[in-house]
Amino acid sequence: MGQGRKSLENKRGDTIDFDCTEYYINRELSWLAFNHRVLEEAEDEKNPLLERLKFLAITSSNLDEFFMIRVGSMKDQEKHGITTPDNKSGMTPRQQLEAVSREAHKMVEKQYRLLHETFIPLLASYGISFVKPEELTEEQHRFVRTYFYDRIYPVLTPMAVDASRPFPMLLNRSVNLAVTLDSERDGKSKLLFAVVQVPSVLPRYIQLPSPEGIAQFILLEDVICHYVDFLFKGNRILSVKPFRITRNADLTLDEEGTEDLLKEIQKELKKRRWSSAVRLEVTCEMDEYMKAILQESLEIEACDIYEVEGPLDLTFLMKFVLSLPGYNELRYRSLPPQPPADFIGENNIFEAIAHKDILVHHPYESFDPVVHFVKQAADDPNVLAIKQTLYRVSGDSPIVNALAKAAENGKQVTVLVELKARFDEENNIVWAKKLEKAGCHVIYGLVGLKTHCKITLIVRQEGQKLIRYVHLGTGNYNDSTARLYTDLGMFTCNEQFGIDASYIFNHLSGYSKPPK
C-alpha cells in the first residue's frame, strides 16, 4: 500500500476506509484485555494452586502500574483541556477514562470473586488460612497482643484531621486506616476523623502459632484495627476501615528544554510520591461518611473509587507464596537452569565465541555466561574497551561491579544507563553515579527517546588485529530476573555485527547519524 493511501479495495471490490475507528482498538482497553489474559492464568486449574495465586498478585501489580502511568497520563490530558481523540480509535481522554473505569471495575470484581470463592476455600483445604482477630485462639490472642505492643505500636502514628491539621499527604500505594471517633468534652459529643498509616516497614502478614500441619496468618492491618483504641485514649472508636490510594506517577519531562536530564528526572521523582490521586480502594464495609471524607480530601471522582471485599492490595500474595515454606506439590516443578553446552569445558569465553556464534535460551540455560563475559573482559589484559547498555539491573549487580572494576583496571568503559526505565529511575541513578565514580563514561540516555536495546560490545587486541565481541539480548542485564523471564541471548564475533554495534554506540554517545 502506497504511502499516504487511506483506503483499499478488498476482493469483493468494497472500499475499506482505514481511517474508520471501528477497525482500531484503543491502547488502554487493549492493555486491560492483556491483563484479563493474565487473570485467566489464575483461573486455569491446570496451573498449581500457589502459582495461580501468584498470577492474581501479578494482575494487581499490573493494575497498579496501569493506574499510575496510563490513567495518570489521561488525567493529565483532561486536566489540561485536551479533547482531541487518540490517533485511530477516536476516543477522547474523557471517553477513554470512562471506558477504562468500566473495564477495570469488572476486572477487580473478578479478582476478588476468585479470591473468596476459589482460593480461600482451596488454601483452607491444605491447612493454609488468614484469620480475623475474632477467630484467634487464646494462645494466638496472647501472641498477637505481645507482637502488637513490641513490634507494631512503637512505629504507629495517629494523624488527626481537623481545622488545624489538614488531611495528611499519604504515600502512593500505602495501606491506611480511616478512623471515626466519638469524643466527649464537657458533656458534649463530637465526631472526629483520623488516619493511621499501616507501616510498610513491617511484614504485611504475621504467622500465628498453630498446630502442626496448619499454617495460619493474620494481616497487619487487622491487628492494628483490633488494637486501634490504644492510639486514641479517651475517645470511643466508632469505625475503623482500611483504604489505599494510587497516585499519578507519570513523569512529565520537558526533555527538549532541559539542560541536565539527570537533574530533571531527580526533580520529577520527588514529585511522584505526592502527586494527585488517581484511584481510591476501600473495603465494602466502609460507611458513606468515611468515603465522602476521603473522596473530598483526595479530590477524586466517584468512578475512581473501587470497593472490594478485602484485603486491599493483593500484590502481597506474591511475597506470601515465595516465602511460604513447603507445599511443593502446589508449585511448578523446579527446573534449575542448565549451563549452555557450548560453554562447557571452555575456560576462555572469547575462544568459545571465536569458534562459533552461540545462542542461549534463558531461564532454561544459565545467565552465568553473560556475567562471565563482562567479568572476564574486566580482567583480560587484551581487552581495550567495553561498551554496554543497561536498562534494568539487579540489586547488587555483578555486571555493574565488573564494569566498575574494568574502568579501575584502565580499560575504556562506556555505559548507557537508561534513566527513564519506568520505576527503576532511582536505582539507575545510583548505579550511574557508582559507575562514574569508578571512571566509566556514563550516558544517561537520549533526549526524547528511551533506549531499550540490550547490547554489550567488547574490543579485544588479538595479535595485530582488533576483534569485536558482541552480546545481544532480548532481556535486561539482570541476573535475578534472568532466572524467571524467558529471553534469548547471542554471543558473536561476526565482523558485521561488531561494526553495527560500534555504529550504535557512536550514535548513543556522539552526534553521528544512525546507520540505515
Catalytic residues: 452
Rg (C-alpha) for the chain, rounded Å, is 28
Residue 183 CB-half CA count within 13 A: 11
- Taking the C-alpha atoms of residue 154 and residue 144, their distance in angstroms, rounded to an integer, is 15
User: Which residue carries 555505559 as its cell?
Assistant: 415
| Distance, CA of 399 to CA of 435 (rounded, Å) | 11
Alpha carbon distance 15, 383 (integer Å): 61
Amino acid occupying residue 21 = T
Partners of 184 in beta bridges? 189
Alpha-helical (H) ranges within 284-387 are 288-298, 316-323, 349-355, 368-379
In the structure grid, which three cell numbers stand for residue 58, read together? 501479578
Residue 372 in contact with residue 352, Cβ under 8 Å? no
C-alpha cell at 264: 530533571
Angle (deg, nearest 10), helices 93-114 and 49-65? 160
CA atoms within 13 A on the CB side of 126: 15
How far apart, in whole angstroms, are the C-alpha atoms of residue 134 and residue 131?
Answer: 8
Beta carbons of 111 and 122 less than 8 angstroms apart = no
Cell for 177?
Answer: 486506616
Unique residue bearing C-alpha cell 499510575: 68
Beta bridge partners of 482: none
CA–CA separation, 361 and 366 (whole Å): 8
DSSP string across 42-100? HH-TTS-HHHHHHHHHHHHHHHHHIIIIIIHHHHHHHHTT--PPPTTT---HHHHHHHH
